[in-house]
Amino acid sequence: MRLKNKVTFITGGGQGIGRATALLFAREGGRVVVADINKSAADSVAAEIIAADGQALAVQVDVSRAESVEAAVAEAIQWGSRIDVLLNNAGITRDARLPKMTEAQWDAVINVNLKGVWLCGRAIAPHMIAQGSGSIINVSSIVGLYGNFGQSNYAATKAGVIAMAQTWARELGPSGVRSNAVAPGFIATELTTTIPEKITNGIKERTPLRRFGQPEELAQVYLFLASDDSSYINGTVIAVDGGLVW
């Protein structure tokens, strides 16, 4: 088991890619903290893990609020005594073209996708430094590398979490803590079901594998970065996009 006895803290763990990752990490022996703003969703995933003889804790967290993050991390530490892996997976979209994007749309995405990653990193890094080990995984996007129509806010956050991961790699590396980012392409989740069919077909045509990725395929990359298999990988960005030509 690649994560045996490792405590993993997964934000946005109650659904979609977060859920798939939580289930995989548990199967690999991880003790999983399922953190989500939707407590019932987190409870459901944790119950599924426990029913399969895994170990899990569901916590409610609003990653955009420092006090909420700190309380969730404290609960996780009390339960697991340590945190070995932080997967900054929580994220939202509020799309609009630049002239029409409201300040509220901008702030909502910045607060969750960028500030939330920073708050979680700030809260958990001291525990990793104290134990002399840890892996932080920031979920970016190909949008953070290339931009995307109607997503000034989202693209800015996803570029920002790459910069944070690289900065943390320098700051935390001497303490034995690794920090990396993953830039997924289009993954088959509830979010991508809202994309019009014409656009979906165009994306698949530009993707050499001619399909969207599956949450489980992305989760495998997170597993690699969380495990000791990636012990000398630090400060990098891994694209998981099927070779998409943007």
Q: Are 180 and 238 in contact (CB under 8 A)?
A: yes
CA dihedral 153, 13, 35, 33 (to 10 degrees): -140
Burial of 92 (0-12, 13-18, 19+ CB in 10 A): middle
Among the listed residues 219, 238, 90, 241, the one whose alpha carbon sits nearest the alpha carbon of residue 166: 238
Q: Which stretch of DSSP H or E encloses residue 237?
A: strand 237-240
**232 among known catalytic residues:** no
Per the residue annotation, which of 146, 154, 222, 232 is the catalytic one? 154
Burial of 44 (0-12, 13-18, 19+ CB in 10 A): middle
Q: Are 10 and 41 in contact (CB under 8 A)?
A: no
Tell me the catalytic residues.
154
